[in-house]
């Protein structure tokens, strides 16, 4: 059979089928691959509001640690990370919520009533009760304050982790 100059040849049909098949495969594989690469880079964990308890349960002048868990999904693995905050009420109308992690290496700080300060047991960091500033030791910055609100009598915080060991507060 002789090919005509104006008609469609078998070679031309096969070339078009191969091109269409290649475009289909590139699209079918490329879109999920692009989504897998771009999605984690642009995605941030949106912190949610965590209820710490009735605001009336936090007495004036007595800091209280509240511990809770945050669920994280990594692929098919679901984990619960233990977290804690310190809640302090210096007077009847003021509340302060701070991340309970030391800004030096992330150890959990405790409260010492004899010195009215927060102390890190790992490397001796000492933080002021009221404003969380560093009083002694290696921490590079004050305790990290957290956003909070009182809704229907319940104290809630938007928990956030920050990078440790650096002088500026950098959210993770």
20-29 tens-digit pLDDT: 888 888 888 8
Between CA 124 and CA 151 the distance in angstroms is: 37
100 contacts 84 by C-beta, under 8 angstroms: yes
User: If we measure between CA atoms, which residue out of 18, 172, 46, 33 comes closest to residue 99?
Assistant: 172
Q: Per residue in 123-153, pLDDT tens?
A: 999 999 999 999 999 999 999 999 999 999 9
Between CA 146 and CA 132 the distance in angstroms is: 12
69 contacts 104 by C-beta, under 8 angstroms: no
Largest CA distance in the chain: 103
Residue 60 predicted with pLDDT over 80: yes
Question: Taking all residues of the chain, what is their mean pLDDT, rounded to a whole number?
Answer: 88
Between CA 157 and CA 152 the distance in angstroms is: 14
Residue 160 predicted with pLDDT over 90: yes
The verdict on pTM exceeding 0.75 is: no
Q: Per residue in 71-126, pLDDT tens?
A: 888 888 999 999 999 999 999 999 999 999 999 999 999 999 999 999 999 999 99
Strand 49-54 to 117-119 pairing: unpaired
Helix (H, G, I), strand (E, B) or coil at 19: helix
Quick one: what percent of the chain has pLDDT higher than 90? 66
- What pLDDT does 112 receive? 95
Residue 50 predicted with pLDDT over 60: yes
Between CA 103 and CA 139 the distance in angstroms is: 5
């Amino acid at each position: 059979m002789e090919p005509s100059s104006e008609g469609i040849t078998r070679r031309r049909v096969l070339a078009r089928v191969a091109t269409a098949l290649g475009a289909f495969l590139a699209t079918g594989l490329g879109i999920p691959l692009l989504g897998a690469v771009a999605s984690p880079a642009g995605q941030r964990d949106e912190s949610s509001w965590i209820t710490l308890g009735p605001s009336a349960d936090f007495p004036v002048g007595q800091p209280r640690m509240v511990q809770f868990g945050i669920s994280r999904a990594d692929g098919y693995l679901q984990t619960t990370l233990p977290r804690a905050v310190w809640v302090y009420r210096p007077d009847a109308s003021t509340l302060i919520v701070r991340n309970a992690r030391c800004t030096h290496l992330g150890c959990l700080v405790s409260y010492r009533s004899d010195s009215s300060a927060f102390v890190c047991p790992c490397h001796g960091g000492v933080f002021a009760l009221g404003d969380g500033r560093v009083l002694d030791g290696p921490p590079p910055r004050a305790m990290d304050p957290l956003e909070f609100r009182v809704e229907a009598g319940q104290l809630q915080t938007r928990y956030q982790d920050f990078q440790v060991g650096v002088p500026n507060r950098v959210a993770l």
